[in-house]
Amino acid sequence: TEGSWSGADAAGGSASEAAADRPVLQVEHLVKRYPQTDRAVLDDVSFMVPAGKVFVVLGPSGSGKSTLLRTIAGLEPIQGGRILLDGQVIEEGSPQAARRVRSPGLAGPPGRSRDMRTRVGMVFQSYDLFPNRTVLGNITMAPVLVQKRESREVRQEALDLLDRVGLGDHADDWPDRLSGGQRQRVAICRALILHPEIMLFDEVTAALDPEMVREVLQVMLELADQGLTMMIVTHEMTFARAIADHIVLLDEGGLVEESDDPKAFFDHPRTERAQRFLSSFT
């Protein structure tokens, strides 16, 4: 079953074992072109992410990693293939698909319903917190305004989430008072409170000072332990090896190597391309 995940490795005994192998995300023959370019930035990409698993995407700069996450999050239309969430088609390729201009958060693409938008959570390299809201305000805004949830209950959940990421004392702070690592943890809480079925992380530590990287990666490791389904783009190889259930190497818009054994992938990459990519990190 090339291009898919055998899911045979059930070691680790996570809480999600009962739901093992249920695909949360399926990407089928995805093709992405940006307007005014002929080249497909993503060319016939297929894979799936089972419930409770961590899918890590590696690849050189410009290989299409961010574009891949952005199409799954509904931030970019696709020109071919389809994307399914929990077995339901959420995005279908159309050669004429027009560019959507939107920012993440409250405003959504015209193609997806409001409910649909909250089902995929995403955290970016640059912490895009709203500067005119407190930490708590940043986290509670979407569930109250978009999901119409009761504000007291949302507030309590936000405070619990902040506790979990070590920011229990910062609920009333303004974003510009926080360090980069703290802001990224707030951004993670802001995505988590919408109870997404999958969380996408795009190089979330790339812009951080080294001493703040660890606190963010630690939160992600804990989320993985708790059985959250995640897709992670990272250049932190030690972290990738530790957290990945499944690992892929993206190059020039295609998956050039895949493994559900991260140790084997790092120690004995099969393709020359993967060997070359990994050797650039040592």
**Chain residues that interact with ligand ADP, rule: CB under 6 A:** 34, 41, 59, 61-67
282 binds, among Mg ion, ligand ADP, none (CB under 5 to 8 A by kind): none
Which of residues 63 and 134 has its CB atom nearest to ligand ADP in the complex? 63
Nearest alpha-carbon partner for 205 in 236, 167, 230:
236
Return the exposure string of 102-141: e unless at least 16 CB atoms fall within 10 Å of the residue's CB, then b: eebbeebbebbeeebbbbbbbbbbebbbeeeebbbbbbbb
| Among the listed residues 26, 63, 66, 205, the single contact to Mg ion using CB under 5 A | 66
- Give the SS3 label for residue 151: helix
**Residue 135 near which of ligand ADP, Mg ion, none (CB within 5-8 Å, type-dependent):** none
**In the complex with Mg ion, which residue's Cβ is closer, 66 or 205?**
66
Q: What's the rounded Cα separation, in Å, for the pair 260 and 5?
A: 7
Q: How far from the centroid of its chain's Cα atoms is residue 152's Cα?
A: 28
To ligand ADP, the closest distance from the beta carbon of 257 in angstroms equals 15
Closer residue to ligand ADP (CB): 64 or 137: 64
Beta strands in 197-276 (DSSP E): 198-202, 230-233, 246-251, 254-259
Closest distance between ligand ADP and the C-beta of residue 65, in Å?
Answer: 3
User: In the complex, what is the shortest distance from the CB of residue 156 to ligand ADP, in angstroms, rounded to a whole number?
Assistant: 37
In the complex, least distance from residue 32 CB atom to ligand ADP, rounded to whole angstroms? 8
